[in-house]
Amino acid sequence: MICEDQGAALTPLRREVFELLLRHDRPVGAYELLDELKSLRPKAAPVTVYRALDFLLELGLVHKVNALNAFSACRGQEADHRGLVLICRSCKATVELEDHKIDNTIRRSAAELGFEAGDEPVEVVGTCASCRA
């Protein structure tokens, strides 16, 4: 599992935000998260959530899904967080796919152009099985 403090300060606030994210099986917007956080911490403001998210992103405990402007707790089993995330444009569901072969191919192609790919999963937008039916 994830969750262990990696030397940095996983404060109660930051842990709360992370645990809220873990409760969802889909990416969640910052303001939705804020609403939920408010039941624990009435003082919470947008920046409260964004700061906690920045921290968690830096630690690699959370991913930002650009296609949805939303955040998801990282469930990856491995140390790095490379791979693909499939995003359904219609129901917003996502599936993580830890395929190092594809990921390495992408990285190599990028490297040929002098470009060093980061560690965020690559986003693939499309349509999931249920929404196609």
CB-side exposure of 14: number of CA atoms within 13 Å? 18
13 binds, among DNA, its own copies, none (CB under 5 to 8 A by kind): DNA
Phi and psi (nearest 5°) for 25?
Answer: -105, 25
Residue 92: CB minimum distance to its own copies, A: 13
* Contact flags string 54-93 toward DNA, x per CB under 7 A: ---------------xx-----------------------
SS3 65: strand
Residue range at the interface with DNA (CB under 7 A); choices 38-46, 85-93, 109-117, 125-133: 38-46
Residue 27: CB minimum distance to DNA, A: 10
- 125 lies in the binding site for DNA (CB under 7 A): no
How far, in Å, are 36, 41, 44, 59 from residue 4 at the CA level? Answer: 23, 23, 24, 11
30 binds, among its own copies, DNA, none (CB under 5 to 8 A by kind): DNA
User: How many whole angstroms separate alpha carbon 64 and alpha carbon 82?
Assistant: 13
Among 40, 45, 110, 111, binds DNA (CB under 7 A): 45
- 11 lies in the binding site for DNA (CB under 7 A): yes
Contact 113, 128 (CB under 8 A): no
84 binds, among its own copies, DNA, none (CB under 5 to 8 A by kind): its own copies
Name the nearest CA neighbour of 97 among 108, 82, 110, 109.
Answer: 82
